[in-house]
Structure 1
Amino acid sequence: MQTSRFAPLVPVLAVLGAVTSLAIGTSYAKQLFPLIGAQGTSALRVGFSALFLLLLWRPWRWHTSRIDAAAILRYGLTLGVMNLLFYMAIRTIPFGIAVAIEFTGPLAVAMWSSRRVIDFVWVGCTVVGLALLLPLGGAQSLDPIGVMYALGAAACWGLYIVFGKRASHLHAGHSVSLGLAAAALVVVPIGVAHAGSLLLNPKILLAGALVAVVSSAIPMSLEMMALKRLPKETFGILISMEPAVAALWAMLLLHEQLTGLQWLAIGCTVLASVGSTLTARRQPPPVIPAGA
Structure 2
Amino acid sequence: MSVFLVLGSVVSLQFGAAFASQLFGQVGAPGATALRLGIAALVLAVVARPRLRQETLVLGMTMAGMNGTFYLALDRIPLGVAVTIEFLGPLGLAAVLGRRPRDFVWVGLALAGVVVLGVREYTGAKLDLVGVALALIAAVFWACYVLAGREVATAGLGTGGLAGASLVSAALTLPYGLSAAGTALFEPRVLLLGTLVALLASAIPYTLEIRALKTLQPSTFGVVLALEPAAAALAGAVLLGQHLGVVSLCGMALVITAGVAAALRRAPASRERPAPRDADLGLPVPR
TM-score, with length taken from structure 1: 0.86
Regions of 4+ moved over 6 Å: none
Alignment match, 2:213: 227
Tell me the residue number matched to 1:127.
Answer: 111
In the alignment, what sits opposite 2:88?
104
Q: Supply the AA of the counterpart residue of 1:191.
A: G
Which letter does structure 2 place at the counterpart of 1:93?
I
Task: Give, in whole Å, the separation in 1 of the partners of 2:251 and 2:159.
Answer: 35
User: In angstroms, what is the RMSD of aligned CA positions?
Assistant: 2.2
- Structure 1 pair 93–121 and aligned structure 2 pair: CA distance change class (3 A): same
CA distance in 2, matches of 1:116, 1:218: 35
Q: Distance in 1 between matches of 2:269 and 2:161?
A: 25
Question: Unaligned regions of 5+ residues in structure 1, if any?
Answer: 1-8, 286-292
Is residue 19 of structure 1 aligned with residue 10 of structure 2? yes
1:120 Cα deviation from its structure 2 partner: 3.0
Match of 1:255 among 238, 241, 249: 241
1:173 and 1:229 mapped to 2: Cα distance? Answer: 20
Per-residue CA distance 1:142-180 (angstroms, 9 max, x = gap): 001111110010000011111111111325312211111
Taking a change above 3 Å as real, the CA distance of residues 18 and 284 of structure 1, as seen in their structure-2 partners, is closer
The number of aligned residues is 269
Output one character per residue of 1:242-266: Cα deviation in whole Å (capped at 9) or x when no partner. 1001101211111101121211111
Aligned match for 2:70, one of 79, 83, 86: 86
The equivalences for 1:59-208 within 5 A come to 59=50, 69-135=53-119, 141-169=126-154, 170-208=156-194
Say if 1:129 and 1:193 are closer, same or farther in 2 by CA, change over 3 A: same
Which amino acid letter does the alignment assign opposite residue 145 of structure 2?
Answer: Y
Structure possessing the higher radius of gyration over alpha carbons: 1
Unmatched runs of 5 consecutive residues or more in structure 2: 272-287
Following TM superposition, by how much is the alpha carbon of 1:77 offset from its aligned partner in structure 2, in angstroms? 0.7
Query: Given residue 173 of structure 2, which amino acid in structure 1 is its aligned partner?
Result: V
Q: Is the 8 A contact 2:113 2:254 kept in 1?
A: yes
Supply the AA of the counterpart residue of 2:10.
Answer: V
SS in structure 2 of the partner of residue 59 of structure 1? coil
The CA distance in 1 between the partners of 2:32 and 2:99, in whole Å, is 41
How many percent identity over aligned positions?
38
